[in-house]
């Protein structure tokens, strides 16, 4: 067959689009992209024919393969399961807290039509989030609760509702940047609230707050340091001290506790401000994230005095930052778990935190033994330090174990680990790849072993050539 004949045998774009394999793809890929990949694939076969002396026949299989490879690259961008072997339990890049099985089930139930704003008894319209706010009140002991998109949105809503056009007194040591460029002073200005900074970076006293209160003062605010720690010559009042400070009755105390710790985690070396303690101490408004230590979906939770929460719920901003039915469903289930005292059994975050060191070590050994059977790579079990992450408990490590893979091509190995299904995210320390198993669920261990094996094989074949 000569080149002209071969070129004539190439399928048309339309023909390729009708191949079975490509029709399947059409269900998940945008048509425009798909047509583009088909054109590219046909064109590359055309180039091949024109360049080859020997005359290889154009093949439909080669065209399909090229298109599938493109589609696969494209799919990489879509949200998918990632095995978190970083040792960071609340990894913001990996979506912070994984949801409890019960929460996932409830999201599934709510994701079709659901009674998000319907009272099933009366058939009348009901308040969105009615049940979850009731549960949150019960859990925290607060008079009222409100749920918004995240804690940043909660901060915005609280400041704008309680202090717009006026001043809020805050310690210089608490003017934090939370990550992703979220800086507290900018939130104040966006909410139209004047900052009244007091104290110094390292030391602020109750009398600093008392001296700063004046005509313009709308509130006192305490903000948890979140992602940094101060040591040495430092002091700042506790929330209880702030609440008992001398101030007019009209000046409320706002407490941004951030990480949303409910209950005592000191047995894990975690000392974070507690939501329930903040409410009990008498904070007028307490706010925190749903997806940090609370172990639920992304959300900003505001609890406190009924009259403040009511004003917030009527703020027009509320409509822009309200949550959807899936978030409500997940948060309901997560709050129920806390209320039932089942956090350690049911919340993945708590399971990671409480996993015994010996269990992690034996999982590591099991994986390493299995890898040694199939790969010549230098693998071992080393001690490691996990972290809570997600802007909470800075500087506090939790003892763990990791699988260490010694290689001259750590970056490339990590890339192979990320590029398969499920993707695996590890870390590189001193040139070796470390996979910390505290953050890997038991049911993921076999998958992980398979993925490490495949990635090592890929690496070895690449460097054998």
Chain residues that interact with ligand PLP, rule: CB under 6 A: 150-152, 155, 178, 223-224, 226, 256, 258-259, 289, 300, 391
Crossing angle of helices 151-163 and 306-314, in 10° steps, is 100
CA atoms within 13 A on the CB side of 415: 6
Report the nearest approach of ligand PLP to the CB of residue 302 (Å).
12
* CA atoms of 354 and 350, how far apart (whole Å): 6
Query: Smallest Cα–Cα separation from 334: which of 292, 294, 288?
Result: 294
Report the nearest approach of ligand PLP to the CB of residue 310 (Å).
23
Q: For ligand PLP, which is the closer residue by CB, 183 or 310?
A: 183
Measured CA to CA in angstroms, residue 19 lies from 25, 69, 72, 95, 189 at distances of: 10, 16, 17, 38, 58
Q: What residue is closest to ligand PLP based on CB?
A: 258
Report the nearest approach of ligand PLP to the CB of residue 393 (Å).
10
Report the nearest approach of ligand PLP to the CB of residue 284 (Å).
17
Beta bridge mates, 434: 404, 427
DSSP 8-state assignment for residue 274: B
Name the token pair of 226. 């979140």
109 and 330 Cβ atoms separated by less than 8 Å: no
Q: Say how many Å lie between the first and final Cα of the chain, rounded.
A: 35
Report the nearest approach of ligand PLP to the CB of residue 296 (Å).
11
Neighbours of 400 (CB within 10 A): 22
Q: For ligand PLP, which is the closer residue by CB, 390 or 426?
A: 390
* CA atoms of 416 and 422, how far apart (whole Å): 11
Q: For ligand PLP, which is the closer residue by CB, 248 or 395?
A: 395
Report the nearest approach of ligand PLP to the CB of residue 358 (Å).
32
> What's the angle, vertex CA 411, arms to CA 408 and CA 414, rounded to 5?
115
Report the nearest approach of ligand PLP to the CB of residue 155 (Å).
6
Q: For ligand PLP, which is the closer residue by CB, 84 or 155?
A: 155
* CA atoms of 240 and 248, how far apart (whole Å): 16
Neighbours of 60 (CB within 10 A): 16
Report the nearest approach of ligand PLP to the CB of residue 111 (Å).
22
* CA atoms of 218 and 125, how far apart (whole Å): 35
Q: For ligand PLP, which is the closer residue by CB, 298 or 439?
A: 298
Classify burial at 76, counting beta carbons within 10 Å of its beta carbon; exposed 0-12, middle 13-18, buried 19 or more: exposed
Q: For ligand PLP, which is the closer residue by CB, 237 or 391?
A: 391
Residue 405, helix vs strand vs coil = strand
DSSP 8-state assignment for residue 298: S
Q: For ligand PLP, which is the closer residue by CB, 289 or 386?
A: 289
Report the nearest approach of ligand PLP to the CB of residue 258 (Å).
2
Q: For ligand PLP, which is the closer residue by CB, 87 or 300?
A: 300
Q: For ligand PLP, which is the closer residue by CB, 184 or 381?
A: 184
């Amino acid at each position: 067959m000569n080149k002209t004949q071969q070129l004539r045998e190439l399928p048309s774009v339309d023909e390729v689009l009708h191949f079975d394999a490509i029709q399947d793809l059409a269900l998940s890929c945008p048509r425009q992209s798909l047509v583009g990949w088909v054109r590219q694939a046909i064109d590359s076969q055309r180039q091949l024919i024109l360049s080859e002396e020997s005359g290889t026949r154009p093949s439909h299989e080669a065209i399909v393969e090229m298109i599938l490879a493109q589609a696969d690259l494209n799919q990489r961008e879509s949200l998918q399961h990632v095995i978190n072997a970083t040792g960071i339990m609340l990894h913001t890049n990996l979506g912070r807290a994984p949801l409890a099985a019960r929460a996932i089930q409830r999201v599934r139930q709510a994701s079709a039509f659901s009674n998000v704003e319907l009272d099933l008894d009366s058939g009348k319209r009901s308040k969105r989030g009615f049940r979850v706010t009731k549960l949150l009140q019960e859990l925290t002991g607060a008079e009222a609760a409100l749920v918004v998109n995240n804690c940043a949105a909660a901060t915005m809503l609280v400041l704008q509702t309680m202090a717009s056009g006026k001043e809020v007194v805050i310690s210089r040591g608490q003017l934090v940047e939370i990550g992703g460029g979220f800086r507290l002073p900018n939130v104040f200005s966006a909410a139209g609230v004047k900052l009244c900074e007091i104290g110094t970076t390292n030391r602020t006293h109750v009398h600093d707050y008392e001296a700063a209160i004046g005509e313009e003062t709308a509130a006192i605010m305490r903000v948890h340091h979140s992602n940094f720690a101060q040591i040495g010559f430092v002091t700042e009042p506790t929330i209880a001290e702030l609440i008992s400070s001398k101030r007019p009755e009209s000046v409320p105390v706002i407490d941004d506790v951030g990480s949303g710790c409910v209950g005592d985690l000191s047995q894990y070396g975690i000392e974070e401000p507690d939501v329930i303690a903040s409410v009990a101490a008498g904070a007028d408004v307490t706010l925190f994230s749903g997806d940090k230590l609370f172990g639920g979906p992304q959300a900003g939770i505001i609890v406190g005095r009924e009259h403040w929460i009511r004003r917030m719920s009527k703020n027009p901003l509320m409509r822009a930052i309200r949550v959807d039915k899936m978030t409500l469903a997940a948060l309901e289930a997560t709050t129920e778990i806390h209320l039932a005292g089942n956090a350690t059994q049911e919340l993945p975050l708590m399971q990671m935190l409480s996993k015994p060191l010996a269990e992690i070590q034996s999982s590591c050994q099991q994986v390493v033994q299995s890898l040694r059977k199939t790969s010549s790579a230098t693998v071992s079990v080393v001690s490691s330090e996990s972290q809570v992450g997600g802007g909470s408990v800075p500087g506090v490590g939790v003892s763990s174990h990791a699988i260490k893979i010694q290689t001259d091509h750590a970056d490339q190995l990590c890339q192979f680990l990320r590029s398969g299904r499920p993707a695996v995210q590890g870390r590189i320390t001193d040139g070796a790849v470390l996979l910390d198993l505290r953050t890997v669920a038991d049911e993921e261990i076999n998958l992980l072993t398979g993925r490490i094996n495949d990635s090592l094989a890929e690496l070895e074949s690449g460097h054998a050539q």
